[in-house]
């Protein structure tokens, strides 16, 4: 049985992977000529900024990584530095999605290209990142943290989520995720193949 705080993070990974799969399906559609609605792109940007980054990466960076650093891991080198670097790389890709979502008027050809280009980079980046955390970083954390530290982390996660959710935002983000997944369903075969290769099917 997984320790609860790690299970919490892994459950968040599963939701993030599904929205990544949805973004992949959407981006493949755009490559094939699908019309782009800014509101939909804004939904992806909002989910990745506010859930994947603020809520999920926030818990990792402020709580899990901080505790691992107290146990001797460096922030500037090694696995935590790599995870932090990849969080930053993801933010840069999501910024491109955000600017298309926040734009006005008809979506221009350059914006379609930017959208597909950022999805093509972001989807495999975050998938591979999630695999590294699930398979390497989290097991490493469980090896170095003491059981009472792990237990305390779950309480910290709950406090963290309550602060973020004071305005109901986490529920709203889950609703956004459901809407995106329903509109553009992840392709399970493509997701499995991409996960096996650490890649992505966006052309």
Q: For binding to Fe ion (CB under 5 A), which residues are involved?
A: 133
CB 15 within 8 A of CB 56: no
Taking each helix axis as running N to C, give the angle between helix 109-132 and helix 188-197, from 0 to 180 degrees, rounded to the nearest 10.
60
Separation between Cα atoms, residue 147 and residue 174, nearest integer Å = 30
Q: How far is the CB of 87 from Fe ion (least distance, A)?
A: 8
Closest of 9, 124, 93 to residue 56, by C-alpha: 9
For Fe ion, the closer of residues 15 and 100 by Cβ is 15
For Fe ion, the closer of residues 61 and 117 by Cβ is 61
For Fe ion, the closer of residues 57 and 120 by Cβ is 57
Closest CB to Fe ion: residue number: 133
Runs of H (alpha helix) within the chain: 4-31, 38-46, 58-59, 65-70, 78-102, 109-132, 138-144, 147-164, 169-183, 188-197
Q: How far is the CB of 81 from Fe ion (least distance, A)?
A: 15
Q: In a 10 Å sphere around its CB, with 0-12 CB exposed, 13-18 middle and 19+ buried, how is residue 149 labelled?
A: middle
Q: How far is the CB of 60 from Fe ion (least distance, A)?
A: 5
Q: How far is the CB of 111 from Fe ion (least distance, A)?
A: 29
Closest of 54, 61, 52, 72 to residue 140, by C-alpha: 72
For Fe ion, the closer of residues 64 and 200 by Cβ is 64
Q: How far is the CB of 18 from Fe ion (least distance, A)?
A: 14
For Fe ion, the closer of residues 112 and 127 by Cβ is 127
């Amino acid at each position: 049985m997984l320790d609860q705080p790690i299970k919490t993070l892994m459950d968040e990974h599963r939701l993030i992977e599904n929205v990544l799969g949805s973004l992949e399906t959407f981006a493949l559609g755009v490559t094939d000529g699908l019309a782009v609605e800014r509101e939909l792109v804004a939904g992806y940007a909002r989910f990745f900024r506010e859930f994947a980054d603020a809520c999920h990466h926030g818990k990792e960076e402020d709580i899990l990584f901080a505790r691992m650093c107290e146990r001797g891991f460096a922030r500037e080198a090694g696995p935590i530095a790599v995870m932090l670097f990849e969080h930053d790389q993801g933010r840069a890709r999501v910024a491109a999605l955000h600017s298309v979502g926040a734009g006005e008027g008809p979506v221009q050809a350059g914006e379609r290209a930017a959208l597909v280009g950022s999805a093509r980079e972001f989807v495999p980046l975050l998938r591979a990142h999630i695999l590294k955390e699930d398979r390497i970083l989290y097991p490493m954390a469980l090896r170095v943290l003491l059981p009472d530290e792990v237990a305390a982390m779950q309480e910290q996660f709950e406090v963290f989520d309550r602060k973020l959710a004071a305005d109901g935002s986490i529920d709203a983000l889950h609703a956004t995720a459901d809407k995106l997944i329903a509109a553009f369903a992840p392709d399970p075969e493509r997701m499995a193949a991409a996960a096996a290769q650490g890649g992505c099917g966006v052309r």
